[in-house]
Amino acid sequence: MEFLKELGIKEKNLGASTGLEWYGTKDQGELKIHSPADGKYIASVYQASQIDYDKVIATAHKAFIEWRTVPAPKRGETVRKIGQALRNHKDSLGKLVSYEMGKSLQEGLGEVQEMIDICDFAVGQSRQLYGFTMHSERPNHRMYDQYHPLGVVGTISAFNFPVAVWSWNVMIAAVCGNSNLWKPSSKVPLTAIAVQNILADVIKEEKLPEGLFSLIVGRGSSIGEELINDKRVPLISITGSTRVGRHAAQVISKRFGKYILELGGNNAIILTPNANLKIAIPAIVFGAVGTAGQRCTSTRRLIIHEDIYNKVKDSLVKAYGALKIGTPMEISNHVGPLIDKAAVEDFKNALVKVVKEGGKIICGGDVKEGAGYESGCYVSPAIVEADNKYEIVQEETFAPILYLLKYSGDVNSAIEIQNDVVQGLSSSIFTVNLLEAEQFLSHWGSDCGIANVNIGTSGAEIGGAFGGEKETGGGRESGSDSWKAYMRRQTNTINYGTDLPLAQGIKFDI
């Protein structure tokens, strides 16, 4: 395929890079990557060894020592050029994202656009790494705080957003003065290698320090454990399951490191009797079936007032009937495949379980077979009537299953149902009633890190801080003031007088 050639993807690829050099101990196993779109073999990657890791981390630390001395606006100029390089390769990289991961081509191209957008955001941020000044109680003293870079920032990304989440972290971390080490999902390593190849041209052209942007592809049980235990990596951003995040948080905390966790979501949309269904239905459908339900912000639960329940149910069944399921490389298709057959099994098992608990499948739920579905990874998105207390509804199934939950009473009853899960990432309400909207956004309303009104749970913009609460992990990435997570805070006091008055009026005469 031409886009593989353009991105420098070979038949066999090494799994460790410092930006300029590639390393690859070939005795640690070879990842053979097949596309969930058609089941065809794409290429392979040699997993990195401990020797490779040691080379990469040492080079990344050395790069930090140099990079932190570069003025932040100049660091921003480098990121601007990375954004331009991504623009030049948007079509090819978007196709690879779709082909390797399985999301629709529109979403693949959109993910690369998200990378470009965060580069633009980071360029502006490079001139706004601000602190604050405070008045001192002591005469002839000035106080202020400022922010300094941390060191090597690690990013552990998941398969569902193989490049965008990396860029959220790395572009911000880079303008803050940090170097970066990326461990991508072993399910989608080719997109990471492609990005590393794109970065290499900028690194050479700008004469950037080797190791500023590094890559390590390896087993979680070896390379992943080495990374989270490494004191040379003061901050690690992790996207993944709650189980993985809980383990990583414990290990990193034990060495007093910092972490950003973006873990599970069990996101709900509330439809009150005052909802504008004309805009609500498309938002629900995209939220539930976009990326084949494999977004952390995918809509899992739909909480519908009893007065409009049947109308909404009928509208959704009709909309699902119009979905085009097929290869993600065809831009007119709405739903592509799940990432692999294991994900298909999770989808099937969840539906079996919800029926056993008393749920009713009213739409979809089958595995697609026949021409065009040879990979065995395509399913028909399911709609299920259920109860929020079902065990399976309390879990996050990473697949296109939408649970319909009925409520009665006022909006507070719906909010109580929404909050009654352990996850707390994204949430939404559709209503034209200002009182209902404001209650949803109040401090007794949604307990999620993201709360939207009259838009869905999925499709966050890069300008806002992204992240959640409860078992979603905490921490924020991307926009707003999330840049502060990638820096260490320092308070400074300057005495410009000739006396030494002490704080709190303490006297200490000698």
What angle separates helix 164-175 from helix 72-88, to the nearest 10 degrees?
150
For residue 45, which of 219, 179, 236 has the smallest C-alpha distance? Answer: 219
> In the annotation, is 262 catalytic?
yes
- Cα–Cα distance measured from residue 234 to residue 218, given in angstroms and rounded to the nearest whole number: 20
pLDDT of residue 25: 86
Give Cα 184 distance to the centre of its chain. Answer: 12
pLDDT of residue 24: 81
Q: What does 426-448 look like in DSSP terms, one character per residue?
A: EEEEE-S-HHHHHHHHSTTS--S
pLDDT of residue 133: 97
At CB < 8 A and 24+ separation, what contacts does 71-77 make? 72/126, 72/127, 72/129, 72/175, 72/176, 72/177, 73/126, 73/127, 75/126, 75/174, 75/175, 75/177, 76/122, 76/123, 76/124, 76/125, 76/126, 76/127, 76/175, 77/123, 77/126
Assign 3-class secondary structure to 141-176: EEEEEEEEECCEEEEECCCCCCCHHHHHHHHHHHHC
Query: Catalytic pick from 6, 114, 226, 262?
Result: 262
> In the annotation, is 114 catalytic?
no
Q: What's the burial of 329, exposed, middle or buried (CB within 10 Å: 0-12/13-18/19+)?
A: middle
pLDDT of residue 416: 98
pLDDT of residue 229: 98
Instruction: Using DSSP, state whether 339 is helix, strand or coil.
Output: coil
For residue 304, which of 402, 396, 397, 444 has the smallest C-alpha distance? Answer: 402
pLDDT of residue 510: 86
pTM of the model: 0.96
Query: Catalytic pick from 119, 176, 296, 377?
Result: 296
pLDDT of residue 220: 95
> pLDDT tens digits, the chain, 510 residues: what are they?
899 999 999 999 999 999 999 998 899 999 999 999 999 999 999 999 999 999 999 999 999 999 999 999 999 999 999 999 999 999 999 999 999 999 999 999 999 999 999 999 999 999 999 999 999 999 999 999 999 999 999 999 999 999 999 999 999 999 999 999 999 999 999 999 999 999 999 999 999 999 999 999 999 999 999 999 999 999 999 999 999 999 999 999 999 999 999 999 999 999 999 999 999 999 999 999 999 999 999 999 999 999 999 999 999 999 999 999 999 999 999 999 999 999 999 999 999 999 999 999 999 999 999 999 999 999 999 999 999 999 999 999 999 999 999 999 999 999 999 999 999 999 999 999 999 999 999 999 999 999 999 999 998 899 999 999 999 998 999 999 999 999 999 999 999 999 999 999 999 988
For residue 178, which of 61, 77, 262 has the smallest C-alpha distance? Answer: 61
